[in-house]
Structure 1
Amino acid sequence: MNTQYRPSFATEELVFHGDENNTGGKALYFPVHQRKILVDAESQPDDYFSCYPKKHIVYNTEIIYIGTLGDIPCYCFELEEELVEGNMQYFDLHDLYGTIDEEMLGIASRAVQMADFYRTHRYCGLCGGTTHYVPEETGMQCHNCEHLAYPRISPAVIILIEKEENLLMARSKHFPDGVYGLVAGFVEAGETIEHAAHREIKEEVGISVKDLNYFASQPWPFPSSLMLGFTANFAEGEIDVDVNEIEEACWFHVDEIPKLPGKKSISRALIDHFIDKHESCK
């Protein structure tokens, strides 16, 4: 496990079920509309979430408590309509990366996911009744049948595969030109994380690996996923790509790594780890 890795979009200081009653009156607010956050673009990044935007909250909008930072409670809410006035602008989480500090980005990520959970679970999946948010359960409960739904987190694996000084990299047709990444995929129902890693590798690039080791994890809110990173060594086989998943995969020497993903992803952290390890051996 890489204990030095600090993932983006992760909060480590927010107490999810902390003290919501702040006598000082301070709070942080995260207005969200369809996974984008509304902020005053003319304010300083440190002040983005310090104001309560009353005029943007329609009657009976549910304000969701998402945790306490120090002694400051944090809230999010889903805006019914896309409202922009004056200097107010919508930003997605990618836009906020590098603009606000990492801890605040993690809290904003939680706010987006919780507001989206509220937006998509206003009606019960069992009986169709209306629901309400239950903060102590972090869930949406039906007024009628009392069925309780929780935020969905989808686990996914991403694996760095090496063969001596070579790294297996693949590119999706959705990647920007020249950018390569690592083999990744979602965990299926009924399988372990380890099995998912071996299955995804076999399905996408046709090879087998050994020495599968956990590296680190990253909350990945695009949408609500948890990326579990691994390293592995090549065992056997020839590259045979699944064209429905990726368009190309090949081995790259450590000195010839192509254009890399952005630093905000665990994919980049894994690749940097591989490069650093081999550079230290020179």
Structure 2
Amino acid sequence: MTKPYQRPSADEPAWWFICAGGDIVLDAEGLPPHGRLQDLPLPTLDEYQVIWLGEMRERSCYLVLADFGDDAFAAVGEFQSLRALVARNDDHLFSMAARAKQVTEFVNTHRFCGRCGARMQAVDWELAMQCNTCQHRCYPRISPCIIVAIRKDDKILLARGSRHRPGLFSVLAGFVEAGETLEQTLEREVMEEAGIKVKNIQYVCSQPWPFPNSLMMGFTAEWASGDLHFDPFELEEGDWFSFDTLPETPMAGTIAYKLIEATKQQITTASDS
């Protein structure tokens, strides 16, 4: 098994996920650089922290932790938001990039022990940070959250959050609280944000969402009872929409898009039966 801090050889073909300040280096084709160190115009990596992330398409993937504003990688690409990869609709690529960003966040926020304040050290046989003073060990944090598309007859519930840009509507989502099941979270969030009860909850898919460290678990559900009453602190507007009059919704590649398409298919199947 490859250790996380094992450094690559110069002739190893690999994917290079170069992260800094929440962004990632993408080349002219909109991809992370790929190739052998000796063939790429990369700076020497001796002064950078390099972490093995796993494999993608039979090639190793390495995270390179750069500094914000670092122009040493300009010859291979430019720093861009990870959201640029969502539009490619490539789940494997986005998942690995998400891992790179989440590991970056983990390393940058665990330099010191949260228990005693001493300096943390990287564990060389697994991805973890260890405090050698009090023996406290930390692993990359994952914040689970649910995201759900709700239908009522042939319509879908869409809302615009306070953080959405004007005109963009999406499905409902919320973070799991301590002690909750996913189903309990879903029911609570829907009631708190929209004032309705749901039934027929079905799991669809999940997606790592690295803004900064979420795991989105996607569901569909059906309206059971209640009138819409939106929480003004979370949502600015929303309604039941027919699929022939949808407003702007999240782009392909996002889990929200997949849930909206799954709901559309459910409505189509129901109408044909």
Fold shared per TM-score above 0.5: yes
**Compared CA separation, residues 237 and 169, structure 1 to 2 (3 A):** same
- 1:62 paired with 2:35, answer no
CA deviation string 1:132-165 (max 9, x = no partner):
2225332111232221101111111111111111
**Compared CA separation, residues 76 and 198, structure 1 to 2 (3 A):** same
CA distance in 2, matches of 1:168, 1:179: 13
Secondary structure of 1:216's match?
strand
Cα distance, 1:22 vs. partner?
7.7
- Of residues 99, 103, 113, the one that matches 2:92 is 103
Q: Which ranges in structure 1 are unaligned for 5 or more consecutive residues?
A: 1-14
Counting aligned pairs with the same residue, the percent is 34
- Of residues 99, 102, 111, the one that matches 1:122 is 111
The answer to whether the 8 Å contact 2:15/2:32 transfers is no
CA deviation string 1:51-107 (max 9, x = no partner):
547636473x43212123465332213223421155442112112344695433322
The answer to whether the 8 Å contact 2:220/2:263 transfers is no
TM-score scaled to structure 2, two decimals?
0.85
In the alignment, what sits opposite 2:239? 250
The answer to whether the 8 Å contact 2:12/2:36 transfers is no
The answer to whether the 8 Å contact 2:86/2:252 transfers is no
TM-score scaled to structure 1, two decimals?
0.82
CA distance in 2, matches of 1:56, 1:153: 32
CA distance in 1, matches of 2:98, 2:219: 23
CA distance in 2, matches of 1:22, 1:189: 40
CA distance in 2, matches of 1:21, 1:142: 23
The answer to whether the 8 Å contact 2:101/2:212 transfers is no
**Compared CA separation, residues 102 and 135, structure 1 to 2 (3 A):** farther
CA distance in 1, matches of 2:49, 2:14: 16
Q: Which ranges in structure 2 are unaligned for 5 or more consecutive residues?
A: none
Secondary structure of 1:28's match?
strand
CA deviation string 1:35-57 (max 9, x = no partner):
21234x45x55671435476364
- Of residues 15, 25, 31, the one that matches 2:18 is 31
More off after superposition, 214-223 vs 169-178:
169-178
